[in-house]
Structure 1
Amino acid sequence: MGIQCVDDVLNKAFFRLGFYVGRHPGYFIIVPVLLTLFFITGYQQIHHNIDPEYLFSPVNGEGKLERKIAEDLFKVNYTSRFNVARITRAGRFGRVIVTSKDGNKNMLRKEVWKELRLLDDLIQNATVLYEDEYFTYQDICAKWNNECFKNDILNLDYIIDE
């Protein structure tokens, strides 16, 4: 009996609302369209910032001060003596994140490592056309003594069986 009472009240309320909408449809069509157009103008001016450093660290935090000191003392040189340990910013370089396609979370398997070597060869043999000029991996890679920096982790394939 208590549920029937709630049902009757809701039926009457929605009947009145529907009746009012049926009598005055212009308010329920024109007003939402005008409000939408008005609010879209503000949405166009939103500036999205997805930089994690800006979003999660204080402007004058200790970490930024320490990073500035490290950058002043240990410069990162991508053209001749690149060292991964000296990277203090995300920078403009690519990373590849790989997961196994068979669902096995163990990536330390010989067959997976063979495919990683194949992927590494594909990346290093890639050529890109940019503004009528061709670039190869060797042209744009981070270098150590005029050679592209080697990924030492890929050398685990020599001992992966152990």
Structure 2
Amino acid sequence: MLRQVLHAGLRSSFHALGRFVASHPVFFASAPVLISILLGASFSRYRVEENVENLLAPKHSLAKIEGNLVDSLFPVNRSKHALYSDLQTPGRYGRVIITTRKGSVLEPLHLDTILKVTGASL
């Protein structure tokens, strides 16, 4: 019985909705087009961000301020004719990956060992 009542109610409501849509064809044909144009127009304001730094750091962050300071104090020759080998000073260089078996690399004991190995100091 409940099924018959629901079926009759839905049938009459969809019949009324169909008659309403059929009596206003211009509105239901043009409204989706206008909405698509309005929503699509917002894509014209989008731009592709090519600088990854702008995506990862806030505009007025300390990292950007320090980066600008470093760039102003130590300019890099970015011309087409500059070679990558010109950026390094003569000498021997090496890279080391440091890991620990237990704990964190940032613990004071491990930090002291790392500083001794690299010859750096705080």
Q: TM-score, normalising length from structure 2? A: 0.47
Q: TM-score, normalising length from structure 1? A: 0.38
Q: Which has the larger radius of gyration?
A: 2
Q: RCO higher in 1 or 2 (8 Å CA, sep ≥ 6)?
A: 1
Report which of the two has the higher share of helix.
2
Report which of the two has the higher share of strand.
1
